[in-house]
Amino acid sequence: MKRLSELEYGESGVVREIRASQHELNCLGIRMKKQVKMITRQPIKGPVVVVVDDMEVAMGLDTAEGVVIETGEHEGS
Amino acid sequence: MALPVQERWDLVDIIARKTVAAGAYRQNLGDVLGDLTVRPLTGIPVAFAVLYAFWSIFSSFAGALVTDGFMVKVFDSHWLPWLQGAWSDPASIHYFLFVGDPLAENCFEAFGMLTSGLFVAIGVVLPAIIIFYLMMTVLEDSGYLPRLAVLMDTVFHRIGLHGYAIVPVILGLGCNTPAVTATRVLETRKQRFIMMTLLAIFIPCGAQLGVMLEVIPDAVGWVMLFLLIGFGIFGFILDRIIPGSNPEILIDVPPYHWPLWENVTKKLMNRTKSFLKDAVPFVLFGVLVVNVLYLAGIIGALADLFEPLFVTWFGVPKETVGPLVAAFLRKDLAVAQLSAIAMTPYQMITAVVLVSIYFPCVATFVVMLREGWKELAAAVAVLVATVFIYGGLIHAVGILMGVA
Amino acid sequence: MADTSRTVLMMGNPNVGKSALFNRLTGGDAVVSNYPGTTVDYTKGVLIENGQEYEVIDAPGTYSLEARDAAEDVAVRLISENPGATVLVVLDATRVERGLYLALEVIERGCPVIIALNMIDAARERQITVDTRVLQRILGVPVVPTSAVSGEGARDLAGMLRKAQKVDIETVRARADGQFDTPEQSGGCTGCGGC
Ligand SMILES: Nc1nc2c(ncn2[C@@H]2O[C@H](COP(=O)(O)OP(=O)(O)O)[C@@H](O)[C@H]2O)c(=O)[nH]1
Ligand SMILES: [Mg+2]
């Protein structure tokens, strides 16, 4: 388990928990059991950009810290 | 009859599973470019390149090519002499109002409604905003703005905003009025207030930029630098003193696509049309008002009244009061008027910065009012303080550097 | 309150092509750009279809009826201020899932709804297929594939506006769970022409 903000470039995983801004994130496609992939993390605590369902979403670092990701063998939908 | 949120999402999932089938997704060139322009290592240089290209095309095309190469010749060698000859009675009031100075050699100095007014509106500002909007439309339609927002996020964070504030800023560089409405993309009242206030004070519009490039090409860089620094300093302060929260950026980043020619031309047409319809009459009217106020001695009286403030505090000649009155109607006009006043280069920079920050033009004022009168009143209070403090500060910098 | 039965309110997520479609339908001048949040205020236009005059309103994009910012707030207010208006929900065919949430919320409000499945060209290019007929039968409202850039489907959409349906969310749920072969019991044929 990792925070979304801790994913390496190009690393992906499955969303297991959303601790804050749940509704807003859901509306942008970041939901439980979704596969997300890290595209970039901006320097100096900047935002992160992830891909979910082939669509890019940008979010602030604090928001990304509230999303718990399972990386590794398990495949999500 | 409303479902609980989670059940609604469950239903969405079931329906989507039964209706949507995605084939293997192939990354295309747009996606690759999309990633490259949002990663800091490649994206930041690209952002600089894009903004630099934007600026250099804008300044060379609008200023040098169209205005100097064509409009100046038409207006100064044909229109002005013809009008000066054809209009009867150079000593009359109507000559002063419409044609201006009978001995003027160019349309900037004549200062009649049909000479300077038309020249500023059609000869200088029109080409500037057409080229500006053309490039802005390409930025808007390609899908670059959200990526620029991601790259700029860290910077905007320091002043209580987030990266998506780049949208009202870029729109504001075209015209402040749609930009004020566009502050609605920000989430909280605090963010909207900060953005609106900074827009009204520190973001010069395309029309003003166009005139600046024409009349003070060497000083434009300095003026922009002072405005940028002011944007940062006052944003930082506002963020500390305004109560409220600063939510983070959270946006969809759409895929790139080619701007559609049809859409680009349509937007360009509409924006140009609304400039001709809304702005040109204001420029002409502005010249008229200022000329009437001159004749009535009101500008002279105001200049005497504000002389101590202007000369001692801001370090600019008292004649700049006239343009500041005009600035309330149109900033482009005010900058054009400033250029006719004898000043040192640093005084010119100061005066142009003052014109930019001192008051939003009427049109901006009206849309700000629509977003809420309390916000407007607060913004005006901030503005008065800012003009006073920042104007004095710039003068002080000039004294320290030994140029003021 | 004014009669809003001939009002068509366009709702949908940001950047799905609402304004582009609005321009197609009404010949209007709504601003179209490729970033979310282009439209922050509403635009009205007129569409005449079969001798029937509709007032079409292009609303700012919103992800749900819980407004997140002032622009979304405008959209949410429009739906309350126009009870009885037909709501034209615009979905992006390349991201149907996201738009469905809003579509369901609108259906739950009891508004007559019709769906435009816009960006159908982009979906084809990305090899995403959406089964319009199944979607139509589950939701019980007309679903019209459109492409605002090419104009494909815009005429069909205009012709279908009068067939917008109010549906009960429980019947949607029942049909989604598999019993969609009994349309008569669950609110009747939608008359959407999809069968
Ligand atoms: N490929 C494709 N692009 C579209 C379509 N409709 C709109 N667009 C593009 O999608 C972007 C968003 O359109 P806009 O009308 O501003 O969306 P709105 O925010 O929902 O009003 C623009 O760049 C349009 O050119 C469509 O049917 N197909
Ligand atoms: Mg729109």
User: Which residues form the domain of C74?
Assistant: 7-176
pLDDT score at B14 = 93
pLDDT score at C183 = 47
Buried b (16+ CB within 10 A) or exposed e, B337-358: bbbbbebeebbbbbbbbbbbbb
C98 CA: distance to closest CA in chain A (Å): 6
Could you tell me if residue C137 is inside a domain? Answer: yes
Neighbours of C162 (CB within 10 A): 16
What pTM does this model have? 0.90
Which of left, alpha, beta for C10 (phi over 0: left; psi -120 to 50: alpha)? beta
- Quick: pLDDT tens for B238-282: 999 999 999 999 999 999 989 999 999 999 999 999 889 888 888
The arithmetic mean of pLDDT across residues B85-107, rounded, is 87
Q: For residue C70, give the CATH number of its domain.
A: 3.40.50.300
Q: What is the mean pLDDT of chain C?
A: 88
pLDDT score at C184 = 45
The arithmetic mean of pLDDT across residues C172-193, rounded, is 62
Could you tell me if residue B120 is inside a domain? Answer: yes
User: Which residues form the domain of A9?
Assistant: 2-70
Q: What is the mean pLDDT of chain A?
A: 88
B249 three-class SS: coil
- Mutation target to probe the A interface, by most A beta carbons within 10 A, among B147, B248, B256, B257 is B248
Could you tell me if residue B288 is inside a domain? Answer: yes
The protein residue with its alpha carbon nearest to ligand 1, atom 28, reads: C119
pLDDT score at C179 = 63
Q: For residue A18, give the CATH number of its domain.
A: 2.30.30.90
For the cut 60, the answer to whether the pLDDT of residue B305 exceeds it is: yes
pLDDT score at A77 = 41
The rounded percent of chain A whose pLDDT value lies above 90 is 62
For the cut 50, the answer to whether the pLDDT of residue C117 exceeds it is: yes
Residue where the block lists tokens 């929900």: C89
Please report which confidence band the pLDDT of residue C149 belongs to, taking 50, 70 and 90 as the band edges: very high
Chain A residue with the nearest C-alpha to that of C63: A27
Paired strand residues for C117: C91, C145
pLDDT score at B322 = 86
The arithmetic mean of pLDDT across residues B90-101, rounded, is 88
- Quick: pLDDT tens for B6-35: 999 999 999 999 999 987 777 788 888 888
Could you tell me if residue C148 is inside a domain? Answer: yes
Inter-CA distances, B66 with B162, B267, C34, C37, Å: 37, 21, 30, 34
Q: What is the 3-state secondary structure (H, E, C) of B19-81?
A: HEEECCCCCCHHHHHHHHCCCHHHHHHHHHHHHHHHHHHHHHHHHHHHHHHHHHHHHHHHHHH
The rounded percent of chain B whose pLDDT value lies above 70 is 100
The arithmetic mean of pLDDT across residues A51-56, rounded, is 90
Tally of domains in chain A: 1
The arithmetic mean of pLDDT across residues A38-60, rounded, is 91
Ligand 1 centroid vs B180 CA: distance in angstroms?
23
For the cut 50, the answer to whether the pLDDT of residue A76 exceeds it is: no
- Whether residue C63 and residue A27 make contact (CB cut-off 8 A), yes or no, is yes
The arithmetic mean of pLDDT across residues C167-192, rounded, is 68
- Tokens representing B357 are 């920050």
Q: CB-CB: which of C60, C100, C132 is closest to B16?
A: C100
Could you tell me if residue B20 is inside a domain? Answer: no
- Whether residue C34 and residue B270 make contact (CB cut-off 8 A), yes or no, is no
For the cut 60, the answer to whether the pLDDT of residue B398 exceeds it is: yes
Could you tell me if residue B97 is inside a domain? Answer: yes
Inter-CA distances, A40 with A50, B309, C125, Å: 7, 51, 26
Could you tell me if residue B4 is inside a domain? Answer: no
For the cut 70, the answer to whether the pLDDT of residue A5 exceeds it is: yes
Helix (H) or strand (E) run with residue C114 in it: strand C113-118
Query: What is the rounded end-to-end Cα distance, in angstroms, of chain A?
Result: 17
- Whether residue B153 and residue A60 make contact (CB cut-off 8 A), yes or no, is yes
For the cut 90, the answer to whether the pLDDT of residue C103 exceeds it is: yes
Q: Give the binding-site residues of ligand 1, using a 6 Å CB cut-off.
A: B 141, 260, 263; C 12, 14-20, 32-34, 38-39, 61, 118-119, 121-122, 147-149
ipTM of the complex: 0.90
The protein residue with its alpha carbon nearest to ligand 1, atom 16, reads: C32
Tally of domains in chain B: 1
The arithmetic mean of pLDDT across residues B139-153, rounded, is 94
CA distance A53 to C123: 13
Could you tell me if residue A58 is inside a domain? Answer: yes
Ligand 2 centroid vs C107 CA: distance in angstroms?
21
Could you tell me if residue C2 is inside a domain? Answer: no
pLDDT score at B217 = 87
pLDDT score at C188 = 46
Dihedral of the CA atoms B49, B52, B54, B57 (nearest 10)? -120
The arithmetic mean of pLDDT across residues C151-177, rounded, is 92
Neighbours of chain B (3+ CB pairs under 8 A): A, C
For the cut 60, the answer to whether the pLDDT of residue B364 exceeds it is: yes
CA distance B13 to B7: 10
Please report which confidence band the pLDDT of residue B172 belongs to, taking 50, 70 and 90 as the band edges: very high
CB of B351 within 8 A of CB of B315? no
Could you tell me if residue B18 is inside a domain? Answer: no
Among A65-69, B289-293, C46-50, C120-124, the minimum mean pLDDT is found in B289-293
Q: What is the mean pLDDT of chain B?
A: 89
Tally of domains in chain C: 1
CB of B299 within 8 A of CB of B289? no
The arithmetic mean of pLDDT across residues B47-70, rounded, is 85
Query: What is the rounded end-to-end Cα distance, in angstroms, of chain C?
Result: 37
pLDDT score at B144 = 95
For the cut 70, the answer to whether the pLDDT of residue B333 exceeds it is: yes
- Inform me whether the C-beta atom of residue B336 falls under 8 Å from chain A C-beta atoms: no
Could you tell me if residue B28 is inside a domain? Answer: no
User: Which residues form the domain of B190?
Assistant: 41-247+262-401
For the cut 80, the answer to whether the pLDDT of residue C186 exceeds it is: no
